[in-house]
Amino acid sequence: MTYLITGGAGFIGSNFIFHMLEAHPEDRIVCVDKLTYAGNLATLEPVLDNPRFRFVRMDICDREAVMALFREEKPEVVVNFAAESHVDRSIENPGVFLETNILGTGVLMDASRAAGVARYHQVSTDEVYGDLPLDRPDLFFTEETPLHTSSPYSSSKAAADLLALSYHRTFGLPVTISRCSNNYGPYQFPEKLIPLMISNCLHDRPLPVYGEGLNVRDWLYVEDHCIAIDRILQDGRVGQVYNVGGHNEMRNIDIVRLICRELGKPVSLITYVTDRKGHDMRYAIDPAKIHAELGWLPQTRFADGIVATIHWYLEHRDWWESILSGAYRETNEALSVRV
C-alpha cells in the first residue's frame, strides 16, 4: 500500500511519517512538501535512504505536477498535512493561506478522484469552531459545533473542510477529516508557543506572552495525534469528521511559567505584549466520538509530555538553532538535490 503524505517536512507530518514507517512495515510512503519556511528536510534525513520512503519537493497547488505524481505513484491513501499553519502570519498575509490551504486541498482532491484513491484524509483543526468563553468550563467542541472561525488561518481550514465534505457528497470521494487541538512535541518550528518559549529561555531572551496569557488551549502530544489519524485511516467511516484531543487544558501563562521552572530560568523573563487581533480565548475538544467508534484516547498526560518535549529541545539544540540562524535553508537545498 502506498500512502501519499503532504507537508511531511513540517512538525506533525514528519512525526506521522516516522509513526507510519514503524507501525506499518509493509507500506510505502511518498512525501510531498514544498519546503516553505516551515519545512525542514533535515528532520526527515534519517529516512531519506529508506527504500519504503520517497521525498518529492512539490507545491500542492501545482496541478500538473500533482496530477503527474499521482499517475506515477498511484497512492491508495492520501493524508494532507500541507498548510500554512501560523495564525499570526495569516493576519499579516492571508493570501498564501487561501492558496495552499484551500486551492491546494482542491488540487489534491481532484488528483485523488482521478487516481481513485481508497481514502483522502484532511488534517484540520479545532480552530474551525472558533472559541469558547473562559467562564463556561462545561462547554466543549463536538463534531456538531457550528463552524465559527476567527482568523484567516482558521477560515481557510474551515473552507477546506467544507470543500472536502462536498467532494464526498458530490463525487463520492472517500473523505475523512480530523479536527485536532494544539499539538506539541519534537520537531515543532520555533515560532510556535512552546518551542519559542523553550528556545528564548535557553538564550535568556524575553518571553513574549500575548495579553495576560489567560488563553486556554487543549494540548495534545503529537504522537497521540499521529495514532488518532492512523486509527481513522484504518477504521474511520468515510464522510465523517473526528475531533481529536481532550482534557489537557492549560493557560498559556501557566505553560510559560512551567517551562521557566523546568529550565531553571526566572519568570522575570516573561514580557506581556499587545494581544493578537481576534485572539481566541479557549479551545476544548470533546473526544467522545473517536473514543466510542475507534477506541482512541490521548495516552500522554500534559505533565509528562511537556517535560519530554523540553528535554527533546535541550538534546536537539542543533535542530532548532539551524532554524533560528537560517542555516536550515541551505540544508534544504542540499538535501533536495540528494533525493
Ligand X SMILES: NC(=O)c1ccc[n+]([C@@H]2O[C@H](COP(=O)([O-])OP(=O)(O)OC[C@H]3O[C@@H](n4cnc5c(N)ncnc54)[C@H](O)[C@@H]3O)[C@@H](O)[C@H]2O)c1
Contact segment (CB under 6 A) with ligand X among 11-19, 22-30, 205-213, 292-300 equals: 11-19
User: Is position 35 an interface residue for ligand X (rule: CB under 6 A)?
Assistant: yes
Active site residue 45: no
Residue of 3, 120, 129, 153 marked active site? 153
Which residue, 13 or 265, is less far from ligand X as judged by CB?
13
Cα(195)–Cα(203) distance, rounded to whole angstroms? 12
Residue of 127, 218, 230, 249 marked active site? 127
Distances (CA, A) of 238 to 89, 160, 168: 32, 16, 8
User: Is position 215 an interface residue for ligand X (rule: CB under 6 A)?
Assistant: no
Note whether 24 and 98 are within 8 A (CB). no
Active site residue 153: yes
Which residue, 271 or 299, is less far from ligand X as judged by CB?
299
Q: What is the dihedral of CA 325, 328, 334, 337, to 10 degrees?
A: -150
> Minimum distance from CB of 266 to ligand X (Å)?
28
**Residue 301 CB-density burial (10 A; 0-12 exposed, 13-18 middle, 19+ buried):** exposed
User: Is position 100 an interface residue for ligand X (rule: CB under 6 A)?
Assistant: yes
Residue 123 φ then ψ, to 5°? -85, 110
Find, among 187, 191, 243, the residue nearest to 218 by Cα. 243
Which residue, 189 or 302, is less far from ligand X as judged by CB?
189
User: Is position 5 an interface residue for ligand X (rule: CB under 6 A)?
Assistant: no
> Minimum distance from CB of 35 to ligand X (Å)?
5
Task: List alpha helices for 63-127, DSSP H.
Answer: 63-73, 87-92, 95-97, 105-115
Q: Which residues are at the interface with ligand X (CB under 6 A)? A: 6-7, 9-13, 32-36, 38-39, 59-61, 81-85, 100, 104, 123, 125, 157, 180, 182-183, 189
